[in-house]
Amino acid sequence: APVTPTLLYLDNVTVSFDGFRALNALSLAIDHAEMRAIIGPNGAGKTTMMDVITGKTQPNEGTALFEGTHDLTALDEAAIAELGIGRKFQTPTVFEMHTVEDNLLLALKNKRGPLATLLSRRANQERERIDALLERVRLTAQRHRRAGELSHGQKQWLEIGMLLAQEPKLLLIDEPAAGMTDQETADTADLLRDIAKSKAVIVVEHDMTFVRDLGVKVTCLHEGSVLAEGSLDAVSANERVVEVYLGR
Ligand code: ADP
C-alpha cells in the first residue's frame, strides 16, 4: 500500500437500477489537490458516480475509499459532508434576499456552529475569512449586493464560496460553465485552478473549450466505466471517445 493514500479511490464500483448498470465496475483515483475533468455522453454514469461519492446512492458492489481509511459506501450523506466532501449542483442555490457577504457568513456559521459565532472576539477572525473568500471567488466589489442581483456566473461563484466556507478537501462540481458568458467561463477556469492548488476538485463538464482551459487530466466515462483517461489531447484522439462522444 502507498505511504500517502490516494485522496479518493473508487474500486470496481457497480450501481444497478433494475438490472441496468449505471456504473459498471468503475475504478478511479483522485490525488490530494488534483483537479480532474469528467466527460462522457449523456447516460455515461457521471451523475451516478457523484451520487456514490456523496453517499446519495449506495453501490451494489465495490468500495469508495476516502483518505485511505473511510469507506464512503458505509456512510450517509451527512457523515460524508462532515469528512470534507462538498458538492455543487448545476443550479446555484444562494439566499437571493441576503447580501453576498451574509450568504458567506451563513455558510461559515453553518460550519462553526452558533456557539462559536456568539463569541464576539471571533468577529474579526470571521471578517478576515469572509474577505479572503470574497477575494477568492472574485466578489469583493459585490459584497453588499443582494445575491438575487448577481449575474448567473456570479451566483455560481458565490455558491462555490459558500462551499469553500465549509473547508472541504474534495469539491464536486457539476457543469460550472453552463449558461455562462465566455468571459465568465474563462474566469471560472481561473477560479477552479486557484482552488485546486489546495483542494481536490472533480468537475463534470461538456464544454470542451472550458475543459481545455482547465488544463487537467481528463476521464471519459461511457456505459458506467472509464473509456479513456489522460490529457485532453490524448483522450480527444482516442477513436472510441470520438465515436461515442466527441463525434456526435
Ligand atoms: P450522466 O450523468 O453521465 O448523464 P447518469 O449517471 O445520470 O449519467 O445515468 C446513467 C444511467 O443510469 C442512465 O441510463 C440513467 O437513465 C440511469 N439512471 C440514473 N439514475 C437512475 C435511477 N435512479 N433509476 C433508474 N435509472 C437511473
Tell whether the torsion through CA atoms of 91, 217, 186 and 188 is positive or negative.
Answer: positive
Backbone angles phi, psi at 133, to 5 degrees: -65, -45
Say how many Å lie between the CA of residue 177 and the centre of ligand 1: 22
Write out residues in the chain with pLDDT < 70, as ranges. 1-4, 111-123, 248
Distance from the CA of 169 to the center of ligand 1, in angstroms?
26
ipTM of the complex: 0.96
The pLDDT value recorded for residue 115 is 60
- Residues 6 or more apart whose CB falls under 8 angstroms from that of 205 comprise 37, 38, 39, 175, 176, 177, 211, 214
The predicted structure's pLDDT at residue 92:
78
Ligand 1 atom nearest residue 42's Cα: 4
Nearest-CA residue for ligand 1 atom 24 is 17
**Ligand 1 site residues, Cβ closer than 6 angstroms:** 17, 22, 40, 42-48
The residues facing 99 across adjacent strands are 146
* Interacting residues of 207 by C-beta distance below 8 A, sequence separation 6+: 175, 177, 178, 185
Mutate to test the pocket of ligand 1, among 14, 16, 17 (most ligand atoms within 8 A of CB): 17
Q: Tell me how far the alpha carbon of residue 132 is from its chain's centroid.
A: 20
Are 198 and 223 in contact by the 8 Å Cβ rule? The answer is: no
Residue type, 164: L
18 Cβ contact list (under 8 Å, min separation 6)? none
